[in-house]
Amino acid sequence: MAEHELPERQSPLEPEYHPGSHGNFEHGVDVILSETRPGSILQLAAWPGEEKQLIEIIGKVTGLALPDGAGGGVSNGARAAFGFAPGKFTVVDEAEGLAAAFAGAITPTIGTLTDLSHGRTAIRIAGPKAEWVMAKFFAIDFALPAFPLGAGRSTNHHDIFAQIQRSGPDQFDIYVFRSFARSFWKALCHASEEVGYEVQ
Amino acid sequence: MLITCPYCGPRDVIEFTYQGDGNRERPQPASQDLDAWNAYVYDRLNPAGDHNEIWQHSGGCRAHLRVVRNTISHEILSTAFARGGHKTESRS
């Protein structure tokens, strides 16, 4: 949050983040990998029975029309929100300070707010082979009918917890623990070599 | 083996953690009834067939689930959220 004058955030991926084309890209780059570095990553949880009220608050604060239902989500480029567990939501903003915007709105009778902006790393995979590469990591269905636009999924890759949101027809945003992010990133790069990848 | 999480849908069993027999009745914390505690800790039906179980979707949404699993075929007959404390209808 800007008012606390936190030091500038450093990327945990930095030593392994090499912009440019890599792997088997002679016939074209089929996935683009990037770190989106959102300013705010929040986890919101509603007490049982307060879920609808929390969804309403998310709508009021972010302007996102978050659909009710398991794994429902929405993104508009700058902001994104999705359900990742019963009554629990991840809300992301390009800008810092989203936690402060929610602070007054989520009362203790509705639920809780946890600021994970410094605890999660957001990685984006995009391109015609994004589904293919993701399917090598996670045992879930990445086809568009099973994993619709905006929807969120909780799963893991070798004990590295991942929250995944589909932010485009061939684009996924993956939120992983910051402490595991570099390891996950390296694995993602290795898995993308066969299709040719570009780091932006 | 696939377990259909009521929130996440069908997922591989590696995402889940077994939390024990779902038939157990935990005595009130203040209970001095040693037989009841003994039964809670040690007594198991151990059926060859349908079994009430508690699982956690620890590698996904982390919800606790009531699952009926056949101990012979490993078929999952039903899943539901454990929240509310209702036991699965006993099939054993």
Identify the residue with better confidence: B90 or A37.
A37
CATH number where B31 lies: 3.30.2270.10
Structural domain contains residue B92: no
Say whether pLDDT at A119 is over 70. yes
Say whether pLDDT at B6 is over 80. yes
A39-116 CATH = 3.30.70.1520
Contact between A154 and B8 using a beta-carbon 8 Å cutoff: yes
HSE toward the beta carbon, residue A182, CA cutoff 13 A: 10
Assess B27–A contact: CB distance below 8 Å, yes or no. Answer: no
- B12: which chain A residues are within 8 Å (Cβ-Cβ)? 139
| Predicted local distance difference test score (pLDDT) of residue A2 | 53
- What does the DSSP 8-state code read for residue B46? -
Structural domain contains residue B34: yes
Contact between A86 and B81 using a beta-carbon 8 Å cutoff: yes
- A86: which chain B residues are within 8 Å (Cβ-Cβ)? 7, 61, 63, 81, 83
pLDDT tens-digit series, residues A83-100:
999 999 999 999 999 999
CA distance B63 to chain A (A): 7
Say whether pLDDT at A66 is over 90. yes
Structural domain contains residue B90: no
Rounded to an integer, the average pLDDT of B22-33 is 93
Say whether pLDDT at B50 is over 70. yes
| Predicted local distance difference test score (pLDDT) of residue A9 | 81
* Main-chain dihedrals φ then ψ at residue B69, nearest 5 degrees: -125, 140
CA distance A44 to chain B (A): 14
With cut-offs at 50, 70 and 90, classify the pLDDT of residue A8: confident
Say whether pLDDT at A77 is over 90. no
Structural domain contains residue B70: yes
SS (H, E, C) chain A: CHHHCCCCCCCCCHHHCCCEEECCCCCCCCEEEEECCCCEEEEEEECCCCHHHHHHHHHHHHCCCCCCCCCCEEECCCEEEEEEECCEEEEEECCCCHHHHHHCCCCCCCEEEEECCCCEEEEEEECCCHHHHHHHHCCCCCCCCCCCCCCEEEEEECCEEEEEEEEECCEEEEEEEHHHHHHHHHHHHHHHHHHCEEEC
Assess A148–B contact: CB distance below 8 Å, yes or no. Answer: no
Domain spans of chain A, in order of start: 11-36+119-200, 39-116
| Predicted local distance difference test score (pLDDT) of residue B85 | 52
Rounded to an integer, the average pLDDT of A61-70 is 92
Structural domain contains residue B30: yes
ipTM confidence: 0.87
Rounded to an integer, the average pLDDT of A72-83 is 93
> pLDDT exceeding 70 applies to what percent of chain A?
97
CA distance A126 to A144: 14
CA distance A27 to chain B (A): 35
Say whether pLDDT at A136 is over 50. yes
Say whether pLDDT at A6 is over 90. no
Assess B13–A contact: CB distance below 8 Å, yes or no. Answer: no
> pLDDT exceeding 90 applies to what percent of chain B?
85
A11-36+119-200 CATH = 3.30.1360.120
- B9: which chain A residues are within 8 Å (Cβ-Cβ)? 70
CA distance A43 to chain B (A): 13
Say whether pLDDT at A151 is over 90. yes
Structural domain boundaries, residue B76: 2-81
With cut-offs at 50, 70 and 90, classify the pLDDT of residue B91: very low
Looking up tokens 């989500």 gives A73
Say whether pLDDT at B90 is over 50. no
- Structural domain count of chain B: 1
Rounded to an integer, the average pLDDT of A142-152 is 95
- Interface probe with B: pick from A47, A140, A160, most Cβ of B within 10 Å: A140
CA distance B46 to chain A (A): 31
Residue of A31, A30, A36 lying closest to A13 (CA atoms) = A36
- What does the DSSP 8-state code read for residue B36? H
- Interface probe with B: pick from A82, A137, A155, most Cβ of B within 10 Å: A155
Rounded to an integer, the average pLDDT of A1-21 is 82
Assess A143–B contact: CB distance below 8 Å, yes or no. Answer: no
Residues B47 and B2: beta-carbon distance below 8 Å: no
